[in-house]
Every structure is written in C-alpha cells, then in structure tokens.
Amino acid sequence: MGRQKMSVEAKIKKEYPQFVEEIASLSVDQLNSRLAELAKQTDEVEQAKDDDEELDSAKDKVSEFSAPYRDAKKMLKLKSRYVIGLIREKGSS
C-alpha cells in the first residue's frame, strides 16, 4: 500500500513550524503582503537558477549521458506498441 499524501497544512507544520507560528496572528492584509513577498522570492530563486551556468552544464551532461538509455526506452516502447497492435489485430486468443 502506498503512503498517503500529507496535506499542505500538515506538511508546513512539520517542516516549518516557526513559519506557521510567525504568520498565525497576521491580518489578511499582512498575509497578502507576505504572499507577495514569497512570490518575489520565488521569482528571484527561479532567476538565479536560470542564470546558473554550472547547473546548465550539469543538465547538458545529464542529457548527453542519458541519451542512449532514452533512445533504448523509446525503441522498446515502439516495439512493444507494435506487438500489442499485432496481438489486437490477430485476436488475443
């Protein structure tokens, strides 16, 4: 049996209890300001990620190294689909 997905509330309370405590008593206006601040910080992190040349280089290497596996999987999937088509065409008996 798979694990049940934790709710956002349960996850945030577990991983960031200080944050939960910090914002619990804020007004709606203050919460909106905090949300805008979080959005701005998210944009800054995304920009830093986009500007990270070392990360781009690592992604390129991963893509290069994984290409043969990706190609093999595509070929096997295509062959499997063909066999399934033949089975359907000939009847599954």
As a whole number, the mean pLDDT across the chain is: 93
Number of domains in the chain: 2
> Could you list the residue range(s) of the whole structural domain that residue 70 is in?
53-93
Rounded to an integer, what distance in angstroms lies between the CA atom of residue 23 and that of residue 32? 11
Is 62 found in the same domain as 31?
A: no
* 19 and 58, same domain (yes or no): no
Judgement on whether residues 65 and 43 belong to the same structural domain of the protein? no
Same domain for 66 and 42, yes or no, is no
Q: Would you give the end-to-end CA distance of the chain in angstroms?
A: 33
pLDDT for 5 equals 85
Asked whether residue 21 falls in the same domain as residue 39, the answer is yes
pTM for the model stands at: 0.63
- Rounded to whole angstroms, the Cα distance separating 64 from 55 reads 14
Residue 73 pLDDT more than 90?
yes
Interval 16-51: pLDDT, tens? 999 999 999 999 999 999 999 999 999 999 999 999
Claim to verify: residue 35 and residue 7 sit in the same structural domain = yes
